[in-house]
Amino acid sequence: MKNSKTPRLDWKRINLLIRLALEEDIGTGDATSSSVIPKNLTAEAVLVCREDCVCAGLPVAEAVFKAINKNIRFSPKAKEGQRCKKGTVMAVVKGNARSLLTAERTVLNFFQRLCGVATISAKFAAAVKGTKTKILDTRKTTPGWRNLEKYAVAVGGASNHRIGLYDRIMIKDNHRELAGLEGSGGLRRSIEKARKSYPKLEIEAEADRLEEVREAADAGADYILLDNMSNEMMAKAIKINAGRAKLEASGGITLDRIPSIAKLGVDYISAGALTHSAKAIDIAMDIFV
């Protein structure tokens, strides 16, 4: 299911996140494990999913274990993007028992979240199967986790929208309203100014009304975001655009509605739900001596 354009993991940022997560959890030390578990005891543990899911984040899970104890041996038993049935052993971990227990919660917090994003992304991607439409994520990501969550989206089979404010011009409603203070034609002026200021960046314009679709297409926008439009309104927007810009449907997107939107012929459907509403997958670490 893994997307061929899956972004690379940003290990500089990920290692910082891991360090911060471990610091807030461990504090002055794992009081329970250090007082209850013999210092040199070794053990084996398995990461097992307790519900069907799409696997994402095994390299991150391994990195958390290694941050606690570099001698821990981590053996993946699933692959990134693999559909795992309930009860699947996703990884086997061996090493110092105290270290395994100290790492457990932080490992699961990362792994459960990433599997959750990949799983919902796979459901949305499946809803457009057989059409030309692609599912996109948004910037509605957990602060600091954007690289991880967009990675998980792609592992689940959906695609990534722009990464941040720097890699695509996106003229949204508030930009449009402020530009309109200078008079009519604000959207056209905004597109022209953006093209002049950043000639190497693609330009996307958000449109709430059909008049704005026409204005954006006439001004040469590369993409037009059809915001909170009904299917009937989007069908009219497609005719107005006449193939000039790539069209993206957004706002009010639900899993049930996606197939009907895709049949209209839009190029993309973006959904913040892939990241802001993803449910963490129930994954457990079962340990054996």
User: Sheet holding 73-76: strands in order across?
Assistant: 73-76, 89-96, 42-49, 283-288
What percent of the chain has pLDDT above 70?
98
User: Quick one: pLDDT at residue 4?
Assistant: 59
| Annotated catalytic residue within 77, 94, 105, 139 | 105
Q: What torsion, rounded to 10 degrees, do the Cα atoms 144, 247, 263, 275 define?
A: 10
pLDDT average, residue stretch 210-218: 97
Confidence of residue 179 (pLDDT cuts 50, 70, 90): confident
Average pLDDT over residues 263-271: 97
Active site residue 140: yes
Whether 172 is catalytic = yes
- Alpha-carbon distance 8 to 207, whole Å? 32
Q: Interhelix angle for 11-26 vs 146-155, to 10°?
A: 110
| Domain 11-125+278-288 matches domain 128-276 at the CATH topology level | no
Catalytic residue among 140, 168, 214, 244: 140
Question: Does residue 3 carry a pLDDT above 90?
Answer: no
Instruction: State pLDDT tens for residues 143-170.
Output: 999 999 999 999 999 999 999 999 999 9
In this predicted model, what pLDDT tens digit does every residue of 79-128 receive, in sequence order? 999 999 999 999 999 999 999 999 999 999 999 999 999 999 999 999 99
CATH T-level fold of 11-125+278-288: Aldehyde Oxidoreductase; domain 3 (3.90.1170)
Structure tokens at 148: 């991880």
- pLDDT the model gives residue 288: 86
Query: Which residue out of 10, 51, 192, 227 is catalytically annotated?
Result: 227
Where do the domains of the chain lie? 11-125+278-288, 128-276
Whole-prediction pTM: 0.95
> Of these residues, 80, 104, 137, 206, which one is catalytic?
206
pLDDT of residue 100: 98
Spatial separation of the C-alpha atoms in residues 107 and 113, rounded to whole Å: 10
CATH class of 128-276: alpha beta
Task: For 225-261, write each residue's pLDDT tens digit.
Answer: 999 999 999 999 999 999 999 999 999 999 999 999 9
CA distance 43 to 69: 13
CA 24 to chain centre: 24
From 172, 193, 209, 239, active-site residue: 172
Helix axes 210-218, 231-241, angle to 10 degrees: 20
Distances from the Cα of 96 to the Cα of 21, 43, 66, 287, 289, angstroms? 20, 6, 11, 11, 10
Radius of gyration over alpha carbons of the chain, in Å? 23
Q: Is 213 helix (H, G, I), strand (E, B) or coil?
A: helix
> What is the C-alpha to C-alpha distance for residues 143 and 139, in angstroms, rounded to an integer?
10
